[in-house]
Chains A and B, each alone.
Chain A
Amino acid sequence: MQKGGVIMDVTTAEQAKIAEKSGAVAVMALERVPADIRAHGGVARMADPTIIKEILNTVSIPVMAKARIGHFVEAQALEALGVDMIDESEVLTPADPFYHIDKRAFTIPFVCGCRNLGEATRRIWEGAAMIRTKGEAGTGNIIEAVRHQRMVTRMITTLQTMPTAKIQKVAEEYCQSYVTSFKTLTNQNVDEKTVVFGSSTYSILKKELYEILKEIKKIQRLPVVNFAAGGIATPADAALMMQLGNDGVFVGSGIFKSKNPEKRAKAIVEAVAHFDNPETIANVSKNLGDAMLGIEISTIPKEQLLQERGW
């Protein structure tokens, strides 16, 4: 779904129209783009359904919307509204300190963020149909997205030469966040028959995470599409992520926080379609006007890093 394309954050129907006209393969309907969420502070929640409905009625491309991590009722509401995909997103304030949404309980597909293969594997097991890097949203700084993509691909490469027993060990490690949640909640230890997530027992979890890792080893990539997100501000940023192996990109604040959104949006679409053609990248990068100013990651207090949300 949406492979090779650009998904753009929009906050109004007019922006959605611009995104569609510029060649976006989908839009993410939001109340505020991440840069504004960062500046605004407070608790960030699902967008007002009025805005989402308006955007749904304006464009023919798919419309996505964000729900808070673990907030399955926001997800149910978004599904009822008829959005095409839900982003269980760390850009919003998490709602559950223990569990992400059990995405298997929905018919609507989900996209989730990850920083490494462990997070990606857990989200896929929980039912995510699409994965994206977390990056650091709202910064216009690509470094965290690159970090996360490299973490994922490095681990996939490592799996290639890993013996079965070692992969089973990795699967067990990847189970630990569920085990910790259970222990914190109940003060009890987990055994094979303990139900750790949804209706799945620990033994099923372990077995199925292993199955996913085996599949990843076999196909040498994630079994779902893997987009880049969090900090993409220029056509070259977008093409960089594509060359690092992403299947497409999300651009949040990067477009509508720049001087000339329409021109930049079109340029990023071109850059993603022709990511391995340096001439095109050079061409579309000309005269775009100012990109968003951006933030150096080390100036952000650790507790304000969005990527730390989720596990």
Chain B
Amino acid sequence: MNRVFQEGKKKGQAVLVRQPRDIDTCDALIIPGGESTTISRILVNSGMYEVIRERMSHNDIALMGTCAGCVLLAKELTDSKADVRLLEAIDMQVERNAFGRQKESFEQSLQIKGFTTPYHAVFIRAPGITKTWGRSEILATAGKKIVMARQNNYLALSFHPELTDDLRIHRFFLEML
């Protein structure tokens, strides 16, 4: 993200957020990949969950969730959500590990709505968006599964944009602010 800021079109800086007070200085948050159960636990225990939900209720924060972050932005999961507290940002249902386990990880070119050329995406134990409704908009699919969706200033993708040098997704997110 800092590489996008260096391009000079928008002013800003990407910082690491680990505590509730770190969020106060931010206009937008990226919830990265990892394990949704772990991230959810840290969000809830640290108090960051409440702070984000509060800012969301005032429409005062933009969110981008990638891979595990995509799971957390969902309204619902296909499996039991007892171990994950969702941020419920986007009208969508998400299936964890939808494409299989580690060895089924893959790379694929995607047609993303609004992008003029294909985007090369890396999927690692990726979740899939099983359905969307309401005000959410589908931006990309891989096979039968939805892999990118947006609602208001919330953006969810089931792949890892940080693993390629293509900065278009980061730029796209900044333009949403």
A contact set with B: CB distance below 8 Å = 1-5, 20-26, 56, 60-62, 79, 82-85, 107-109, 269-270, 273-274, 277
Is there contact, CB below 8 Å, between B34 and A270?
Answer: no
- Residues on A with C-beta less than 8 A from B46 are 273
Would you call B41 an interface residue if the criterion is a C-beta within 8 Å of the partner chain's C-beta atoms?
yes
Would you call B35 an interface residue if the criterion is a C-beta within 8 Å of the partner chain's C-beta atoms?
yes
A5, A60, A61 — most chain B CB neighbours (10 Å): A60
Contact A5 to B101, CB < 8 A, known contacts A270-B45, A273-B18: no
- Residues on A with C-beta less than 8 A from B18 are 273-274
A22, A23, A56, A107 — most chain B CB neighbours (10 Å): A23
Would you call B7 an interface residue if the criterion is a C-beta within 8 Å of the partner chain's C-beta atoms?
no
**What 17 additional pairs, Cβ within 8 angstroms, besides A3-B34, A269-B42?**
A1-B124, A2-B34, A5-B35, A5-B38, A21-B83, A23-B37, A24-B38, A25-B34, A60-B37, A60-B79, A60-B83, A62-B102, A82-B103, A84-B102, A85-B102, A108-B102, A274-B19
Contact A108 to B103, CB < 8 A, known contacts A60-B96, A269-B41, A270-B45: yes
Taken together as a complex, chains A and B put the C-alpha atoms of A22 and B45 apart, in Å, by 11
Say what secondary structure dominates the interface of chain A: loop
Choice from B19, B42, B124, B125 contacting A23 with Cβ under 8 Å: B42
B87-125 to A contact mask, C-beta < 8 Å, 1/0: 000000000110001110000000000000000000011
Choice from A4, A20, A22, A62 contacting B125 with Cβ under 8 Å: A62
Is there contact, CB below 8 Å, between B38 and A269?
Answer: yes
- Residues on A with C-beta less than 8 A from B96 are 60
- Residues on B with C-beta less than 8 A from A79 are 103
Is there contact, CB below 8 Å, between B101 and A20?
Answer: no
Choice from A25, A107, A270, A273 contacting B35 with Cβ under 8 Å: A25
A26 CB to nearest B CB, Å:
7
Is there contact, CB below 8 Å, between A61 and B35?
Answer: yes
Closest residue of A by beta carbon distance from B124: A1
Taken together as a complex, chains A and B put the C-alpha atoms of A34 and B164 apart, in Å, by 38
Contact A23 to B38, CB < 8 A, known contacts A60-B96, A62-B125, A273-B18: yes
List 10 tightest A-B contacts by C-beta distance, closest first: A84-B102, A23-B41, A25-B35, A23-B38, A61-B35, A25-B38, A108-B103, A82-B101, A60-B96, A107-B103
Closest residue of A by beta carbon distance from B71: A60
B19-49 to A contact mask, C-beta < 8 Å, 1/0: 1000000000000001111100110011000
- Residues on A with C-beta less than 8 A from B35 are 2, 5, 24-26, 60-62
In the complex, chain B residues 42-80 whose Cβ is within 8 Å of any chain A Cβ: 42, 45-46, 79
